[in-house]
A and B are shown apart, each in its own frame.
Chain A
């Protein structure tokens, strides 16, 4: 560990490499976190199956690649498949969770995650998968820093999707309805917005976002049927740090998490990277609690 720190100190180019890699994967985290914040803000549900949606999107991309479809066509297909799944799950399960105890919704979506994990393992095998993009890498600093072109492509696509989503939420009638329900569901209902439909739309939209993010992620980063939970935790952490409805915060927090993870993976060793993510979550929540406590007022 200290040896790795020394290497990092002696070869600053390596630091640049880790920084770039971290920022690039941060875009995928940001997209998933944005979806989680959307569902959380509108329906007040924390979707623990978020990461499984990402993984499933990735597997749809793997499936498409195996059947010879062009690389980027997998993204809209994954989004469409996940949109349908999200809508079905909403009708079957999520609709019953709205307005209920938070514990119930965490447990029920955890159940969904467990179901999806084994279904994916049965359909696609319980191993790491990746879509071969066939793209090369760019090299900087005399070949010391390598940037995989596919990671840049994924990054760019995530940004485009995120921007598109923002425009959708700001400009379209459906997006405005979603924001209205997030602000004040009763007032929105009085004004003639069908809140149940908006909840369904939001949840399905979130699934589609995750599906697209997963399809993109699968081109550059390995996916695994049981690997979803770390994406859920990352999304949750990003939303907690950024706050609900703070898009800029989500982007910054996601990039920060990506960079932190990338450095931690190098310094502590790749086997501790997931442990680092989950440990960081605990630290973030404990610190958040400390900060909240400082604001509490006592009567003496």
Chain B
């Protein structure tokens, strides 16, 4: 069992200090390093991606390769709500957004964004809720390939619908100039989301629900035989992860400002596999692991993009292979195994 031990987690002073320090770092980072603001936002969203993947893939043992499905659903639904509240979505996409025709004033933009994020969570959660009973009975590699298919099918379908821009994609609304730096707003939204995600998962994993998820991972048939509500727990975990993925996807779409159906929204070969890599690199099945993994991955990715431009996917592919083959327990897993060994042999 590599799961974090459940039980009473009190807010002792040391813990409060740590939380305070993380909060302070999060709040001041964009103010101190404005040049890295967009990378920092991306990192926070990656943390959510990795955590959400790990809840189902690491804690529950259902290794999904198609979580981009929820990212993409959230991204599109948020953009559709943001535009659709004030304009006709079909016309907006026909005109490729922007221009003088489709202007959003401050309140329109903010209300749109707020409602869009809520709609993204609901839509992604609902997608998971509807698909869950169908696909969560599939196990092991069949589940992995099935979800891979789901993510790509969704991208291909989205690329065929002209109403949402078809294959040429959709632009998110232009933020009004009066709003100032929207990047900063998105950063703080992403920060809140990452904190909310971490806190929610920490709480979930400290409850009985977390134990049920781990039991499913360790031996689903036994868990079922012991009378645990495996079916409900699996669907619940998937829906929760999907809702977070949806909101993160919505913010990601607003961050990059352009939604390509197969390259940004349902990008199985990039974001879809990156979130697995992040969780694995940091330590699958731990709460801290995906966060550590996301930070390391974001740095590595930026370095690859800067110094290996044109070969960055090759470099990332090699990284995936190396981590999967030689370092599957991840950093946190490795550290825990080491400390356990040193405890056993003093």
Contact = CB atoms under 8 A, between A and B. Distances in A.
A106 B65 contact: yes
Interface stretch (A162-170, A177-185, A285-293): A285-293
A157 interface: no
B186 interface: no
A233 B199 CA distance: 38
B21 interface: no
A113 B269 CA distance: 9
Interface string A236-265: 100010000000000000000000000000
Interface in B272-327: 273, 276, 280, 310-314, 316-321, 324-326
Interface string B136-154: 0110111011101110110
A46 B135 contact: no
A115 B145 contact: no
B25 interface: no
B137 A103 contact: no
A213 to B, nearest CB: 20
Interface in A33-78: 46
A271 B168 CA distance: 13
A52 to B, nearest CB: 11
A122 interface: yes
Contact of A106 (B145, B157, B328): B145
B135 A282 contact: yes
Contacts of A189: none
A96 B326 CA distance: 8
Contacts of B152: 229, 233, 274, 278
Given A118-B317, A236-B145, A111 B311 contact: no
Nearest to A101: B328
Contacts of B280: 107
B320 A108 contact: yes
A115 B153 contact: no
A118 B138 contact: no
Given A97-B325, A271-B159, A278 B153 contact: yes
Interface in B152-172: 152-153, 156-157, 159-160, 167
Nearest to B224: A298
B134 interface: yes
Contacts of B214: none
Interface string A71-108: 00000000000000000000001001100011110111
Interface in B161-202: 167
A281 interface: yes
B63 interface: yes
Contacts of A115: 313-314, 317-318, 321
Chain A: number of interface residues, binned into ranges = 35 or more
B249 to A, nearest CB: 19
Given A282-B146, A285-B146, A286-B134, A104 B324 contact: yes
B144 A103 contact: yes
A275 interface: yes
Contact of A272 (B157, B276, B328): B157
Interface string A94-135: 001100011110111011111111110010000000000000
A269 interface: yes
A286 B135 contact: yes
A46 B146 CA distance: 13
Given A272-B157, A274-B156, A108 B321 contact: yes
B328 to A, nearest CB: 6
Contacts of A282: 135, 146, 149-150, 153
Contacts of B273: 107, 110-111, 114
A275 B141 contact: no
B141 A103 contact: yes
A3 interface: no
A104 B141 CA distance: 10
A279 interface: yes
A269 B145 CA distance: 25
B157 A93 contact: no
B314 A108 contact: no
Contacts of B314: 114-115, 118-119
Interface in A202-236: 226, 229, 233, 236
Nearest to B63: A103
Max chain B CB contacts within 10 Å: which of A97, A281, A293?
A281
B262 to A, nearest CB: 9
Contacts of A226: 269
Given A110-B273, A118-B314, A233-B149, A289 B137 contact: yes
Interface in B45-93: 63, 65
Contacts of A122: 310-311
Contacts of B316: 114
Nearest to A287: B134
A101 B329 CA distance: 12
A102 B62 CA distance: 12
Given A117-B313, A122-B311, A286-B135, A108 B156 contact: no
Q: Which 6 A-B pairs give the minimum distances between C-beta atoms?
A: A111-B320, A275-B156, A115-B317, A278-B153, A114-B317, A111-B321
Interface of A: 46, 93, 96-97, 101-104, 106-108, 110-119, 122, 226, 229, 233, 236, 240, 269, 271-272, 274-275, 278-279, 281-282, 285-286, 288-289, 293
Interface of B: 63, 65, 134-135, 137-138, 140-142, 144-146, 148-150, 152-153, 156-157, 159-160, 167, 268-269, 273, 276, 280, 310-314, 316-321, 324-326, 328
Given A115-B313, A116-B317, A285-B149, 9 more contacts: A106-B145, A107-B276, A111-B317, A113-B269, A122-B311, A275-B153, A278-B152, A279-B157, A285-B142
